Structures are given as structure tokens and as C-alpha cells.
Amino acid sequence: MSALKRFIPLFDRVLVQRMTAEKTTKGGIFIPEKAQGKVHEGVVRAVGPGALRDDGNRAPMSVNVGDHVFLPEYGGTKVTLDEEEYSLFRDADLLAKINES
């Protein structure tokens, strides 16, 4: 069983795998690593059960596993699982959900 399948975020945390930056342009020109910008999109890989409210119930999460999301420029906790890098965010820190339709 892979480490990603065993990883369950606590409370309202969301594990996100950032998309990789484009290495070439549409015309086939290679972009140097220093010129590549930080990618602000990612795919949700794991979701916690939700934050506890004052009444003892859990707040529903706004994203599900597999959703594409728009991420803040800074923030998140870096996590390495099976030599892959992920970021751990709070549900409220995610900026938007991107519909793929």
C-alpha cells in the first residue's frame, strides 16, 4: 500500500499535488528553470474529515479527492511521500475550485 493511500489529513486539511510548470512553449522553445513561474494550480489527493464546530458536528469540506484547485502563492506545508512533493493546506486557504467541463 502506498504512503499516499495511508495518508489521511486531520480536521480541515487538504493534501494537494501542485501541477508542474510548462518546460516548453507552444512553439517548442525550452523555458529555463529560473524563468518558469510558480504554478498556482493543483490536484487534491487527500481530504480530512472536516473541522469540528462548536456544536460537535463536522463542517463539510468544500473539495473532494481529484478536484482541481487554485492555490495561494505562499503557504501550505510541504510534505514528501514516496519521493513525490505535496502541499498541505487548510480548506479555507484554497482560493477556488476549477471545473474541468
Q: Which helix (H) or strand (E) holds 20?
A: none
**CA–CA–CA angle 86, 89, 90 (5° rounding):** 155
- Give, in order, the Cα–Cα distances in Å from 9 to each of 29, 90, 93: 40, 10, 15
Q: What is the pTM of this model?
A: 0.79
- What pLDDT shows up at residue 45? 92
- pLDDT the model gives residue 34: 67
Q: Which residues in 1-101 belong to E strands, given as ranges?
A: 13-18, 41-47, 68-70, 77-81, 84-90, 96-98
Residue ranges in the chain modelled with pLDDT below 50: none
CA distance 69 to 76: 13
